[in-house]
Amino acid sequence: MAEVKLVNVSKIYEGGNKAVHNVNIEIKDKEFVVLVGPSGCGKTTTLRMIAGLEEISEGDLFIDGVRVNEISPKDRDIAMVFQNYALYPHMTVFENMAFGLKLRKFDKNEIKERVNNAAKILGITEYLNRKPKALSGGQRQRVAVGRAIVRKPKVFLFDEPLSNLDAKLRVQMRTEISKLHRELNATMVYVTHDQVEAMTMGDRIVIMKDGYIQQVDSPLNLYNKPINKFVAGFIGSPAMNFIEGKILKQENLYFVDNTDKYKLKIPNTYYEKLNKYVDLQIYLGIRPEDINISEEGQFEFESEVVEPMGNEIFLYFNISGNQFVSRTNIQKEIKAGEKIKVLFNTNKLYFFDKDTEESI
């Protein structure tokens, strides 16, 4: 396998529209890296530049230490799995998986061995003589992955491969692709807009917005140490809650003042960090699981929407025009419109400069 390195890579379309801005990523050998972000953030364009399907406007791309900017896709020793499977409808599963090897003049016996091995790994041996129209969506996706496996490429590229599957099948295929990565010891680059996919699959995650990389880190670091408000709000489901406020210092105590009627006392563990930010306008962030419904709560609100999930409840309420959600495992029944007392875990607060939206 191989490492992939992007150095100041940009994509500029006709008219000067810059879709990707100075991307720098080092993907290690055998690493599983996920590019994630909202639609139009540049993640698929970046993947297509690695594949050679989009020309690199600026910067350099290295695969296994070799600069490949001018090397054609077929000579980059990569395999790509597309969102729409891209299977030939008139060919059987075996023929679809073998097609690339036949073009490369592989021996018939080796083709048979590679296809059978890949089919065994993916659990599709019994479908080798069927055509794609006789397969379910999940089975077609396995065939598309198998066609990539038989190539034994240096790098696997996945472009939102699970987006056409139903929710249950997506979870199953997510697990299978993760297992496949471990079995093949392969370098994989995976694009998705689904942050749950990113968090559960990636060794590292690259978060993009408007063509810029926001943060590259492990799933847990992204969740616990987001670099800015965008990352904090994008990673996590339900998303982090935010409210505007100002850091106040009164008689050696620190508060976040919402200027409405809410003032939240900040634990002294934050004092050293916040001392230089007194009177700064901020966004205060707190994750749904750190808001508890309790009779000891600091504030009282009216529940607007209640979503029972079985083992937990998502409970929505409003603070100064901002929708908040609590993720709680409280067992008593709560109805929409009911008054609730809310207890914030003030040891799990996040602070972002209102102007820059950077973490402070």
Q: Give the Cβ contact number of residue 119 at 10 Å.
A: 22
**pLDDT computed for residue 56 by the predictor:** 97
Where does CATH 3.40.50.300 sit in the chain?
Answer: 4-228
Residue 259 has pLDDT above 80, yes or no: no
Query: How many residues does this entry show for the chain?
Result: 360
For residues 280 and 283, what is the distance between their CA atoms, to the nearest angstrom?
10
CA-CA-CA-CA dihedral for 113, 116, 120, 122, to nearest 10: 110
**pLDDT computed for residue 230 by the predictor:** 98
- Contact (CB, 8 A) for 285 and 248: no
Q: Which helix (H) or strand (E) holds 220?
A: helix 219-224
Q: Which helix (H) or strand (E) holds 159?
A: strand 155-159
pLDDT digits (tens, 9 = 90+) for 169-201: 888 889 888 988 988 889 999 999 999 999 999
Where does CATH 2.40.50.140 sit in the chain?
Answer: 241-353
Task: Please count the CA atoms within 13 angstroms of the CA of 176 that sit on its side-chain side.
Answer: 20
- Beta-bridge partner residues of 254: 249, 266
> Pick the residue with more confidence: 273 or 204?
204
**pLDDT computed for residue 1 by the predictor:** 58
292: exposed, middle or buried (C-beta count within 10 Å: 0-12, 13-18, 19+)? middle
pLDDT digits (tens, 9 = 90+) for 224-256: 999 999 999 999 989 999 999 999 998 888 889
pLDDT digits (tens, 9 = 90+) for 34-92: 999 999 999 999 999 999 999 999 999 999 999 999 999 989 999 999 888 889 999 99
Give the chain's mean pLDDT. Answer: 92
CA 38 distance to own-chain centroid: 9
Residue whose C-alpha is closest to residue 195's, from 221, 234, 162: 234
Residue 298's alpha-carbon distances to 76, 186, 242, 256, in angstroms, are 59, 51, 17, 13
231: exposed, middle or buried (C-beta count within 10 Å: 0-12, 13-18, 19+)? buried
**pLDDT computed for residue 330 by the predictor:** 81
pLDDT digits (tens, 9 = 90+) for 309-349: 888 999 999 998 899 999 998 877 888 999 999 999 999 99
pLDDT digits (tens, 9 = 90+) for 280-303: 999 999 999 999 998 888 889 999
Rg (CA), the chain: 25
Asked: is 241-353 a CATH 2.40.50.140 domain? The reply is: yes
> Pick the residue with more confidence: 162 or 305?
305
CA 24 distance to own-chain centroid: 18
pLDDT digits (tens, 9 = 90+) for 99-119: 989 988 899 999 999 999 999
**pLDDT computed for residue 309 by the predictor:** 87
What is 169-203 written as a DSSP string? HHHHHHHHHHHHHHHHT-EEEEEES-HHHHHHH-S
DSSP 3-state of 18: strand
For residues 202 and 189, what is the distance between their CA atoms, to the nearest angstrom?
9
- Contact (CB, 8 A) for 323 and 250: no
Task: Please count the CA atoms within 13 angstroms of the CA of 150 that sit on its side-chain side.
Answer: 31
Question: What is Dmax (Cα atoms) for the chain?
Answer: 82
pTM: 0.91
Class of domain 4-228: alpha beta
